[in-house]
Amino acid sequence: MTLKKSSHRWTQVNADSLTQRHRDEEKMVRRQLQKQLVQAWEHAITQDYLTQRINSERSLQESYWACLNRLLSPKSRRMFIEPHLTISTSDHSKRYYPDIVICNTKQVIGVVELKYEPRKLPSLKKDMGSLRDISANREHLSITNKRFRGRSIDERRYDLPSNVLFVWAGVHRTPADSFSSPKTPLMSEGIDELRGCFLELHAETSSNGNPNVFSRSG
């Protein structure tokens, strides 16, 4: 009996150790991705916005994708632009097309919504609602690379696990209380589905200087 108890205890400790190791690996992946997202955002603004190569949301999307593409390994990362996601309920179905989705070799690790309103205050309702809905229904969603034809077609389905990083990135006018102020709450405040897995990327514009580029997370 003593041997069995000891063996069971060892098995439980070993399982707990593996679970903790998995959590630590997930945190490391998220920190690395967050660092790359911030770096790519800074590059897109300083290299393309300041040289007036960005003049629409689509060109912001293209610039940001290109900057990410230079940072993310093609062997371990895949990006989708505006993939089709459908959330179905008993009453209706709703479609979502996030601007950029980033995957590792098995799962989705990042979902990005972009906004380009350099002369206006940022409109948040639609994008934040989309991120909230995708997070709340992630167990029912997956992404596949259907829009490809060739020898090495990728037939995998990329699911959305619990450690997905949800991102809002926008070029917008500086509000009376800057989003960079410690007094300004996170855009995700009050949205339980985004708690602990949300990243904001800002380029706050002004009429007489370069934009204020910064990030916040929570």
Side-chain half-sphere exposure of 117, counting CA atoms within 13 A: 13
Q: What is the mean pLDDT of the chain?
A: 88
Range from 91-95, 160-164, 213-217 that averages highest in pLDDT: 213-217
Strands 165-173 and 198-206: parallel
More confident residue, 89 or 110: 110
Name the band, by pLDDT with cuts 50, 70 and 90, for residue 28. confident
Q: How far apart are CA 143 and CA 157, in angstroms?
A: 6
* Cβ pair 166, 134 in contact under 8 A: yes
Look-up: residue for tokens 């003593």?
Answer: 2
* Cβ pair 76, 32 in contact under 8 A: no
Helix (H, G, I), strand (E, B) or coil at 14: helix
Q: Is pLDDT at 11 greater than 70 in this prediction?
A: no
- Quick: pLDDT tens for 93-106: 888 999 999 999 99
Q: Residue 25 corresponds to which tokens in the numbers above? A: 């690996």
Question: Read out DSSP for 135-195?
Answer: HHTGGG-EEE--S--STT----EEE--TTPEEEEEEEEEPPSS-TTSTTSPPTTTT-GGGT
Neighbouring CB atoms inside 10 A of 3's CB total 7
Torsion over CA of 215, 136, 109 and 196, rounded to 10 degrees?
40
- Quick: pLDDT tens for 168-182: 999 999 999 999 999
Q: What is the mean pLDDT of residues 180-186?
A: 95
Q: Is pLDDT at 86 greater than 90 in this prediction?
A: no
- Quick: pLDDT tens for 116-155: 999 999 999 999 999 999 999 998 898 876 655 556 656 6
Please report, for residues 31, 104, 143, the alpha-carbon distance to residue 164 in angstroms, rounded to integers and kept in the order given. Answer: 11, 11, 13
Residue 17: the pLDDT is 63
Q: What is the mean pLDDT of residues 19-35?
A: 78
